[in-house]
C-alpha cells in the first residue's frame, strides 16, 4: 500500500514520549523515520530492558516504524553528521531544552536559516519563548502547569494526575498534526519549511473547556468535582451489585427521560427538583442517589444490557485486562497482534486515526540500538565501512 506520508523523511532527535511518538505517528502513516540515539544507552524509553540499550516493551510499541542510528551528540563530529543528514530530510523532531539546542547548534534560528525547506518540530516543556522557556518538564510537571491536575480528583482530596502519560500523548498527536499541516503548506501552497513550537503543557491547557473564559468573565475558578460534572447532570460512575463500576451519561433531556423510564420512575423527570438543567445541578446529590440505588441492584452485565437496550450511553470502567478481552477492540482493529523477536506474540495499540483508503500500518517494531547505522550513514552520506568503523571506535556512533 502507498501510505499517505510515503516519501517523507523524518529525523527524530528526541527522547521519551511526546516528541518521539509524534515521529512514530508520522511513521505509522508511511514516513521514513530515522531515530537518533545515544550509543550504549539508547533512548530513555528502553528502560526496563534486560540489558542497557536493549528493547523494553514500551519501546517495541512507541518506537515502531523507525530505524535506529547512534550518535553521541556531545561530540562535535556527531553533531556535524546531523547537519550532513538534514538536507536529506523533510522533518526534524527534537525535544532538547533550549539551552542545549543553542549549545549544539540545533536551535530554531540556526535550523531555519540553514535548511529553509525543513519542517522542524520543537516539543519543549514551556515552549521556545517566554520567561520559563529554559525550564525542563515531563508529563507530570506539564500536567500540573496546564491546570489539568488541579481539576482532577475528589473535591475534598488533593489533586491527582492521570493514570497514563496523557499530556505526553496529547502532545504527540498535536505535534504530528503540526508537522502534516506545515508539510501541506510547503508542498501544496507554495510555502517553505517552518518551525513548529509546541510547549508540552499547551495541549492539556487547550483541553480546559471554558475554564479560562469563565474566570475572565466572572472570576469563577474551576475546582475538582470527582466523577461528576456540575455542568452535565446526570453523568457519573456507579457501583454495581457484583463489585464493578459503570459510567453513565444521561445529561440531556431525552436521555434522562429514557433513564427514568428504565429505572421504573418515569415521574422523576417531571419533579420540580429534576425538571430543568439548573434544578438538576442544584439537586444532583438526590438524583445521583436514585441512580446509584438502581445500579446497585444489578450486575454489571445486567446494567449494561438494559442501558444499551434503552440507548443510554454507558460503559464499564475498563481495566487493561477487560480491554484485551473485549471483542469490539479486536474486531474494529483498535488492538493489533504482533510478533516480536524478543517478547513473542504481543497485543499493541493500532495506528490512529483510521483512514478509509490509506490506514496506518505497523510495519516494524521498536528497533535494536544502532541497527540502521550502516544503511543510513552509508546510503545517505556515502560513508564507507571503514569510515563507519572509525566513528564507532572513537565513540562518535
pLDDT category of residue 72 using cuts at 50, 70 and 90? very high
- Please give the C-alpha separations between residue 21 and each of 174, 304, 343, 391, in angstroms, as whole numbers: 11, 35, 21, 28
Structure confidence at residue 212 (pLDDT): 98
**3-state SS, residue 35:** strand
Mean pLDDT of 322-348: 97
The distance of Cα 85 from the centroid of its chain, to the nearest Å, equals 28
- pLDDT at position 50: 74
Q: How confident is the model at residue 1 (pLDDT cuts 50, 70, 90)?
A: confident
Region 89-117: mean pLDDT is 98
Q: Which residues of 255-289 are buried (b: 16+ CB within 10 A; e: fewer)?
A: bbebbbebbeeeebbeeeebeeeeebeeebeebbe
> What is the arithmetic mean of pLDDT over 187-204?
98
User: Which positions are annotated as active-site residues?
Assistant: 168
Contacts of residue 202, Cβ cutoff 8 Å, sequence gap at least 6: 127, 146, 171, 174
- Check residue 368 and report its DSSP letter: P
For the packed helices 385-393 and 373-381, what is the interaxial angle rounded to 10 degrees? Answer: 130
Q: How many angstroms separate the CA atoms of 17 and 13, rounded?
A: 12
Q: How far apart are the first and last CA of the chain?
A: 34
Q: pLDDT-based confidence at 229, cuts 50/70/90? A: confident
Percent of the chain with pLDDT over 70: 100
pLDDT band at 231 (very low <50, low <70, confident <90, very high): confident
Burial code of 225-251, b = ≥16 C-beta within 10 A, e = fewer?
Answer: beebbeebbbbbbbebeeebebebbbb
> For the segment 38-67, what is each residue's pLDDT rounded down to a tens digit?
998 899 999 877 777 789 999 999 999 999
Per-residue pLDDT, 242: 98
Average confidence score pLDDT of the chain = 97
Do residues 388 and 374 lie in contact, with contact meaning Cβ atoms separated by under 8 Å? Answer: yes
Detail the DSSP E strand segments found in the chain: 9-13, 32-37, 66-70, 91-94, 119-124, 195-199, 235-239, 245-249, 314-316, 335-340, 344-349
In whole angstroms, give the CA distance from residue 190 to residue 171.
27
Band the pLDDT of 136: cuts 50, 70, 90. very high
Q: How far are the Cα atoms of 161, 162, 264 from residue 153, in angstroms, in the given order?
A: 8, 9, 32
User: How many other CB atoms sit within 10 Å of the CB of residue 325?
Assistant: 11
Domains recognised in the chain with CATH numbers: 9-206+332-393 (3.40.50.10540), 235-239+245-316 (3.30.1540.10)
Could you give the CA distance from residue 96 to residue 330 in angstroms, rounded to a whole number? 37
Amino acid at each position: 500500500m502507498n501510505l499517505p506520508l510515503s516519501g517523507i523523511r523524518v529525523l527524530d532527535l528526541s527522547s521519551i514520549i511526546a516528541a518521539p511518538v509524534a515521529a512514530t505517528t508520522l511513521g505509522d502513516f508511511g514516513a521514513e523515520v530515522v531515530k537518533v540515539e545515544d550509543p550504549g544507552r539508547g533512548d530513555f524509553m528502553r528502560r526496563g530492558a534486560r540489558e542497557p540499550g536493549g528493547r523494553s516493551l514500551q519501546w517495541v510499541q512507541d518506537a515502531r516504524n523507525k530505524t535506529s542510528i547512534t550518535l553521541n551528540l556531545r561530540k562535535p563530529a556527531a553533531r556535524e553528521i546531523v547537519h550532513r543528514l538534514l538536507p536529506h530530510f523533510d522533518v526534524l523532531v527534537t525535544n532538547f531544552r533550549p539551552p542545549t539546542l543553542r549549545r549544539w547548534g540545533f536551535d530554531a534560528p540556526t535550523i531555519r536559516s540553514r535548511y529553509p525547506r525543513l519542517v522542524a518540530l520543537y516539543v519543549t516543556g514551556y515552549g521556545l519563548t517566554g520567561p520559563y522557556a529554559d525550564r525542563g518538564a515531563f508529563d507530570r510537571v506539564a500536567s500540573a502547569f496546564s491546570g489539568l491536575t488541579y481539576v482532577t480528583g475528589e473535591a475534598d482530596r488533593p489533586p491527582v494526575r492521570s493514570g497514563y502519560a496523557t499530556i505526553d500523548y496529547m502532545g504527540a498527536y498535536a505535534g504530528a498534526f503540526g508537522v502534516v499541516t506545515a508539510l501541506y503548506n510547503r508542498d501544496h501552497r507554495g510555502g517553505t519549511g517552518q518551525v513548529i513550537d509546541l510547549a508540552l503543557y499547551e495541549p492539556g491547557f487547550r483541553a480546559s473547556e471554558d475554564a479560562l473564559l469563565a474566570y475572565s468573565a466572572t472570576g469563577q475558578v474551576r475546582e475538582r468535582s470527582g466523577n461528576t460534572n456540575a455542568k452535565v447532570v446526570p453523568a457519573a460512575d456507579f457501583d454495581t451489585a457484583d463489585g464493578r463500576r459503570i459510567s453513565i451519561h444521561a445529561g440531556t433531556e431525552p436521555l434522562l427521560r429514557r433513564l427514568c423510564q428504565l429505572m421504573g420512575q418515569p415521574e422523576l423527570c417531571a419533579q420540580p427538583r429534576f425538571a430543568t438543567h439548573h434544578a438538576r445541578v442544584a439537586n444532583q446529590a438526590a438524583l445521583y442517589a436514585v441512580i446509584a440505588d438502581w445500579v446497585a441492584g444489578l450486575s454489571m452485565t445486567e446494567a449494561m444490557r438494559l442501558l444499551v437496550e434503552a440507548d443510554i450511553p454507558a460503559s464499564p470502567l475498563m481495566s487493561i485486562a477487560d480491554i484485551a478481552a473485549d471483542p469490539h477492540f479486536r474486531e474494529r482493529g483498535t488492538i493489533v497482534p504482533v510478533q516480536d523477536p524478543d517478547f513473542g506474540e504481543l497485543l499493541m495499540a493500532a495506528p490512529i486515526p483510521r483512514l478509509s483508503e490509506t490506514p496506518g500500518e505497523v510495519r516494524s517494531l521498536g528497533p535494536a540500538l544502532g541497527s540502521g547505522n550502516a544503511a543510513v550513514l552509508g546510503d545517505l552520506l556515502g560513508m564507507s565501512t571503514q569510515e563507519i568503523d572509525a566513528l564507532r571506535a572513537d565513540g562518535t556512533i
